[in-house]
């Protein structure tokens, strides 16, 4: 028997998805920070399949494979699977899913769910508390203050690393975070 299957959603899990949907074969953004290190660790314990709404089309799977070839080492890319249909996974990582615990969630709670990549909440909706995916009243001001502090720190890191030629991938990852923070309300 082979290794258990781990399914990774593509947009918002592997691909940072800061530009939002641009088309099935258009993938403009860098990876979510830590992707390559995670894949290296995961591939020792799982067969890793990348699945997405893009997977239904050949051009979408080809675009994801090309994206991985650009951002991840060839030895890791060679071990990834890109199935048309979602395989029977032991576990799936997805930015737009909740764990079902045997108890049906409140529909309003589902309506409030936000993926971590969400840039701007719809009108009359509070931003989610970090890590929960759900709005928590009274947390918006503290979150905004924390984001401003993080933004200042990231901008300082960028200034310090800007002249280091071997730090370009780190700089791109930092810029993704800076742009995401700037878009928060």
DSSP the chain: --PPEEEEETBTTTB--TT----TT---S-BPTTHHHHHHHHTTT-EEEEE-GGGGSHHHHHHHHHHHHHHS-HHHHTT-B--SS----SEEE-TT-----SSPPPHHHHHH---TT--SPPTT-PPBPTTTSSB-TT-HHHHHHHHHHHHHHHHHHHHHHTT-GGGHHHHHHHHHHHHHHHH--
- 97: CB partners within 8 A, 6+ apart: 9
pLDDT tens-digit readout, 69-108: 999 999 999 999 999 999 999 999 999 998 888 999 999 9
d(CA 53, CA 37): 25
pLDDT surpassing 50 at residue 126: no
pLDDT surpassing 70 at residue 15: yes
Q: So what's the pLDDT on residue 66?
A: 94
Query: Residue 128 — φ and ψ, nearest 5°?
Result: -75, 155
Q: So what's the pLDDT on residue 160?
A: 67
pLDDT, greater one: 183 or 137: 183
pLDDT surpassing 90 at residue 133: no
d(CA 162, CA 174): 11
pLDDT tens-digit readout, 51-72: 999 999 999 999 999 999 999 9
pLDDT surpassing 50 at residue 4: yes
CB 114 within 8 A of CB 128: yes
Using CB atoms within 10 A of its CB, is residue 60 exposed (0-12), middle (13-18) or buried (19+)? buried
pLDDT, greater one: 112 or 144: 112
The tokens describing 21, both together, are 């949907």
Averaged pLDDT of the chain: 80
Averaged pLDDT, 139-163: 63
pLDDT, greater one: 18 or 173: 18
* pLDDT-based confidence at residue 161 (cuts at 50, 70, 90): low
């Amino acid at each position: 028997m082979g290794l258990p299957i781990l399914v990774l959603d593509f947009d918002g899990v592997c691909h940072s998805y800061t530009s939002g949907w641009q088309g099935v074969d258009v993938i403009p953004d860098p990876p979510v920070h830590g992707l390559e290190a995670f894949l290296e660790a995961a591939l020792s314990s799982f067969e890793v399949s990348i699945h997405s709404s893009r997977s239904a089309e050949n051009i979408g799977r080809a675009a994801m494979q090309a994206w991985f070839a650009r951002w991840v080492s060839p030895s890791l890319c060679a071990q990834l699977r890109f199935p048309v249909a979602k395989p029977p996974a032991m576990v799936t990582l997805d930015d737009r899913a909740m764990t079902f615990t045997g108890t049906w969630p409140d529909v309003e709670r589902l309506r409030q769910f936000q993926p971590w990549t969400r840039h701007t909440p719809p009108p009359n909706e509070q931003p989610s508390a970090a890590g929960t995916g759900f709005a928590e009243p009274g947390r918006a001001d503290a979150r905004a203050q924390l984001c401003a502090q993080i933004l200042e720190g990231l901008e300082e890191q960028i200034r310090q690393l800007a002249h280091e030629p071997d730090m370009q991938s780190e700089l791109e990852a930092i810029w993704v975070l800076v742009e995401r923070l700037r878009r928060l309300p």
